[in-house]
Structure 1
Amino acid sequence: MGRGDVKTKKGKIFSKSFGKVRPARIRKTTATAAPKAEPKA
């Protein structure tokens, strides 16, 4: 149970893998820019 054990969080960090024990960071999608309101004539 250490760096060589891929079933633990420390082992996943060492082997640079992700899974149930160490979920990957969820990237938040940026919202698309709303179209600018046209000035009233």
Structure 2
Amino acid sequence: MGKGDRKTKKGKIFLGSYGKTRPRKHVNAPVGDKQKDSK
């Protein structure tokens, strides 16, 4: 687990890729907590 590992956050930063461990935008609420039911 290091810079060459695609599944880790450090590896994704090194490779310039995004995914579950490194999302593109900062999420305020955790996944699954009333995202679309705000009305």
TM-score, reference length from structure 2: 0.62
Instruction: State how 1:13-32 maps to structure 2 within 5 Å.
Output: 13-25=13-25
Provide structure 1 residue ranges, at least 5 long, that are not aligned to the other structure: 27-41
Bigger radius of gyration, 1 or 2?
1
**Identity within the alignment, %:** 65
TM-score when scaled to structure 1? 0.59
User: How much is the aligned-residue C-alpha RMSD, in angstroms?
Assistant: 1.1
The runs of at least 4 aligned residues of structure 1 exceeding 4 Å deviation read: none
